[in-house]
Amino acid sequence: MTSNYPILSAEEAAELIENNQLVATSGFTPAGAVKAVPVALAKRAKKLHEAGEKFQIRLLTGASTGTSLDDQMADADAVSWRAPYQSSRSMRQKINAGKIDFVDMHLSHLPQSVLFGHFGVIDVAVIEATEVTADGKVFLSTSVGASPTFLKQAGKVIIELNRAQSRSIGDMADIVLPAPPPKRCALTLDHPLQRIGKSYVQIDPKKIVGIVETNQADEVGQFAPPDELSQNIAGFVVEFLRNELKAGRIPAEFLPLQSGVGNVANAVFEGIGASPDIPDFYMYSEVLQPGPFSLMRSGRLLGASSCGLTLLPEHMQQIADDADFYKDRIVLRPQEISNNPAIIRQLGVISLNTALEADIYGHVNSTHVVGQSVMNGIGGSGDFARNSYLSIFVCPSIAKGGKISTLVPMCSHVDHNEHSVNVLVTEQGLADLRGLAPGARAKRIIENCAHPMYRDYLHQYIANSKPGHINHDLKHCFDLHQRLIETGDMLG
């Protein structure tokens, strides 16, 4: 029932957005990101720029988005400010060139920051949905993200009604908007699949200024099959989980898993799927990508709580074809619930995230190359790493053919400190850091995780450092980074 609302072309909808407005859109990874209005908005921006007029918006999303949004808008110079996360080459180039202000933040914090008023008033929300009723019930598509908060807080709402998305996805949503901050109510979630909310967002229908009809799949890129390096890392992670089970530190029924995006995560799930001594398990995560999704049919993955479905068209077709099977096994939640610190701790989540670099004491940099150039952002990694029962970080031991060691004396930027990192894994091995003092941590990380070509350097660094609770040499702790900047090679 959408007959009450004006049907607009994407171009007409883009005309409703003005220079310097704060625009909030759906999208948590490319899942559920709007696709038509941003392309029209980028075209409009280019035209206005050619005519010598200013046109840039401030852009809020749930997390990263698809190419129609971040790439096209960045290419058109149509964004002046961006939060809370992105993974677009064009967007990141403009951010690192100082042309776009970027606020890198914990994804769980975003909805409450909107309610706190940290970003000002949201002028327009542009949200992808599978259905909107005449009385203002909005059924979201493949991600929930921060859309419920955006829909509630925006002055005007534009809906992209995507016919390519199965209507059954809307029923997977479990939308609860906790009481406004600062004093938030307690949330009870004792099981990853427990439902505590509604399948739609109720808004004032008068705010809906237009519906744009679309028919386009999510712009999720192909995932490369796990390579040897990812498989090696995954092997160490799976062996570790098996040993934790045997030791009774993970209960026999196992614990819910969270994992970030990418190859290693897919390889780990493949490894778990193939390990009969690891029991069938649940996920409590923020993304559901193809690796774990494929384990659902076989029954290895019993169910997943996520914020979005980062899946390919063939997987979406499987969901559409067997909606009853999947709706009992997938719950899509707002990011302030999927990434909620209290719930992550309550459920005893095991988290698996990727580092760009880690230091010998266990601090992790997930975001800034040589402390300066942002890659994507912290995303949800901090929400999970800080609060999970077991926080595992993975990364290759070297990058750029060995010119970079990902294990360094001191991280050039810290997203996750030593207190949030239990286990570090590279293709060289695994360092279980629990219960270790700094000296022992450093020894274990260097021996187990660093690439052999950098081990002597790192041992020598400690030997030459000023002794203390943590041995450091503040004059030389960034020598590797400095050499990389000067020569393009850390061992230069």
Which residues are part of the catalytic machinery?
286
- Where do runs of H (alpha helix) occur along 388-488? 438-448, 452-464, 479-487
- Give the one residue of 27, 380, 409, 438 binding ligand 0RQ; rule: CB under 6 A: 380
- Non-local CB neighbours of 259 within 8 Å, separated by 6+ positions: 265, 268, 269, 283, 285, 287, 292, 351, 352, 353
- Give the one residue of 27, 38, 260, 334 binding ligand 0RQ; rule: CB under 6 A: 260
* 400 near ligand 0RQ (CB under 6 A): yes
d(C-alpha 234, C-alpha 240), whole Å: 10
d(C-alpha 452, C-alpha 440), whole Å: 18
* 261 near ligand 0RQ (CB under 6 A): yes
* 357 near ligand 0RQ (CB under 6 A): yes
CA distances, 232 to each of 238, 267, 394 (Å): 10, 9, 11
* Residue 203 or 394 having the CB closest to ligand 0RQ: 394
Question: Which residues inside 401-430 make contact with ligand 0RQ, applying CB under 6 A?
Answer: 404, 406
* 145 near ligand 0RQ (CB under 6 A): no
Q: Which two tokens stand for residue 147?
A: 């859309």
Other Cβ atoms less than 10 A from the Cβ of 218: the count is 27
* Residue 336 or 357 having the CB closest to ligand 0RQ: 357
Residue given tokens 């938030």 in the structure block: 184
Q: Which two tokens stand for residue 163?
A: 């016919």
In whole angstroms, how close is the CB of 278 to ligand 0RQ at the nearest point? 22
Part of the chain binding ligand 0RQ (CB under 6 A), chosen from 166-174, 245-253, 254-262, 311-319:
254-262
Cβ pair 332, 143 in contact under 8 A = yes
d(C-alpha 443, C-alpha 445), whole Å: 6
- Give the one residue of 287, 431, 433, 445 binding ligand 0RQ; rule: CB under 6 A: 287
* 338 near ligand 0RQ (CB under 6 A): no
For residue 491, the Cα-to-chain-centroid distance in whole angstroms is 33
- For the chain, how far is it from start to end, CA to CA, in angstroms? 65
Binding mask 64-93 for ligand 0RQ (x = CB under 6 A): x--------------------x--------
Q: Which two tokens stand for residue 150?
A: 């955006």
* Residue 170 or 308 having the CB closest to ligand 0RQ: 308
* 146 near ligand 0RQ (CB under 6 A): no
* Residue 10 or 484 having the CB closest to ligand 0RQ: 484
In whole angstroms, how close is the CB of 385 to ligand 0RQ at the nearest point? 9
Nearest residue to 387 (alpha-carbon basis) of 357, 418, 359, 420: 420
* Residue 14 or 287 having the CB closest to ligand 0RQ: 287
In whole angstroms, how close is the CB of 467 to ligand 0RQ at the nearest point? 27
* Residue 21 or 305 having the CB closest to ligand 0RQ: 305
- Give the one residue of 376, 388, 397, 422 binding ligand 0RQ; rule: CB under 6 A: 376
CA distances, 168 to each of 142, 177, 302 (Å): 10, 22, 19
3-state helix, strand, coil in the chain (%, to 5): 35, 20, 45
Interface positions with ligand 0RQ (CB under 6 A): 29, 63-64, 85, 107, 260-262, 286-287, 353-354, 356-357, 366, 369, 375-376, 378-381, 396, 399-400, 404, 406
